[in-house]
Amino acid sequence: MNKFALIGHPLGHSMSPLIHDRLFALSGFEAEPYRLIDIAPEDIASSRPLLEEHLGMNVTIPHKQSVIQLMDELGDSAKRYNSVNCIKNDGGRLIGYNTDCDGFLRSVELLPISENVVILGCGGVGRMMAIETALHGGSITLAVIPQDVKAAQLLMAEIMEKCGGASVKIADISTLDGNFDLLVNATPVGMYPKTDACAVSDKIIENCLSFFDAVYNPTETLLMKKARALGKTAVGGASMLVYQAVKAHEIWYGSAFAAEDISKIILEVENAVDLMNKK
């Protein structure tokens, strides 16, 4: 029976088994129940035999970079971000991919990513979102806290190198001003249990047309609540979590899924998160 798993450290509660088992059931692909495998950082270098036992694997922190040494080949997205979160075992050859970018792009495909976009934060996920936005023609404002200005400057230089002619500027998140077509929250502000926090002022929310929040717990952050109260479109992080998994199944065995079925899984994940928070 085909084996699939998530590796990381530490591995607490994860939505991955729910998501992947639902996708296997939808596709009819025969696989053992999806597993979580905790691998300590010092053990990743010797983990190649374990990886080879699986037809496909997902990778989370802190192994997204360190697992690259075990790969025989990298897909374009993994090369672009020097980060692997999906592995395909192709007849004993391990190929690393990054499906986080696919999860992001599919989550915002109905949002104006090619217009005037402000991205809050410039860490790992913020870096990916900024580069993908630039590749899709968006004009980017990187809104960061003062201690992250140097990191934002490095990211701006990277964007300009990868996306010639891109429009990028840096702003202090506390004094952010202006009108934006899309606001992307790539910070942990608003994440459970500190759900009463919002990364930007009410004025900025009023001045933005649409929103994507990478936080998936809670399923509706304070930022999203405020945006929706104004009648604006706000998409939460559960969609990105599910869509990056969908891309993994496409890579592993060439599956295809109906949009309505994926929407049901996203709703199921959101309900599971809400239930978990009530316990």
Q: Which of 3, 64, 194, 264 is catalytic?
A: 64
pLDDT value at residue 75:
97
126: helix, strand or coil? helix
* Digit-coded pLDDT (tens) for 81-133: 999 999 999 999 999 999 999 999 999 999 999 999 999 999 989 999 999 99
**Side chain identity, residue 193:** P
* Digit-coded pLDDT (tens) for 217-233: 999 999 999 999 999 99
- pTM of this prediction? 0.95
pLDDT value at residue 13:
84
CATH architecture, domain 4-98+239-278: 3-Layer(aba) Sandwich (3.40)
Q: What is the number of other CB atoms lying within 10 angstroms of the CB of residue 275?
A: 9
Q: What is the number of other CB atoms lying within 10 angstroms of the CB of residue 245?
A: 27
Residue 227, H or E segment: helix 222-229
Sign of the torsion angle spanned by Cα atoms 54, 237, 196, 181: positive
From CA 56, how far away is CA 86, in angstroms rounded?
A: 7
63-72, long-range: CB < 8 A, 24+ apart: 63/7, 63/8, 63/9, 63/39, 66/41, 67/7, 67/96, 68/96, 69/45, 70/44, 70/45, 70/94, 71/95, 71/96
pLDDT above 80 for 204: yes
pLDDT value at residue 170:
98
Sign of the torsion angle spanned by Cα atoms 158, 238, 109, 225: negative
* Digit-coded pLDDT (tens) for 38-95: 999 999 999 999 999 999 999 999 999 999 999 999 999 999 999 999 999 999 999 9
From CA 15, how far away is CA 273, in angstroms rounded?
A: 8
Average pLDDT score, the chain: 96
Work out the pLDDT band at 22, boundaries 50, 70, 90. very high
> Position of tokens 């802190």?
62
Taking domain 102-235, whether its CATH number is 3.40.50.300 is answered by no
Query: Domains of the chain: which residue ranges?
Result: 4-98+239-278, 102-235
Number of helices and strands in the chain (H, E): 10, 12
pLDDT value at residue 217:
95
Residues 6 or more apart whose Cβ sits within 8 Å of residue 46: none
How would you label 192-229 residue by residue, b for 16+ Cβ within 10 Å and e otherwise?
A: eeebeebbbeeebbebbbbbbbbbbbbbbbbbbebbee
Residue 268, H or E segment: helix 259-278
Work out the pLDDT band at 205, boundaries 50, 70, 90. very high
The percentage of the chain sitting over the pLDDT mark of 90, rounded to a whole number, equals: 96
Question: Is 3 labeled as catalytic in the residue annotation?
Answer: no
Q: What is the DSSP string of 199-226?
A: SS-HHHHHTEEEEEE---SSSS-HHHHH
Work out the pLDDT band at 279, boundaries 50, 70, 90. confident
4-98+239-278 and 102-235: same fold?
yes
Mean pLDDT over 18-43 rounds to: 97
Backbone angles phi, psi at 63, to 5 degrees: -100, 0
From CA 185, how far away is CA 236, in angstroms rounded?
A: 10
* Digit-coded pLDDT (tens) for 132-155: 999 999 999 999 999 999 999 999
pLDDT value at residue 164:
86
From CA 66, how far away is CA 56, in angstroms rounded?
A: 17
Tokens of 245: 């998994």
Q: Say if CB 129 and CB 98 are below 8 A apart.
A: no
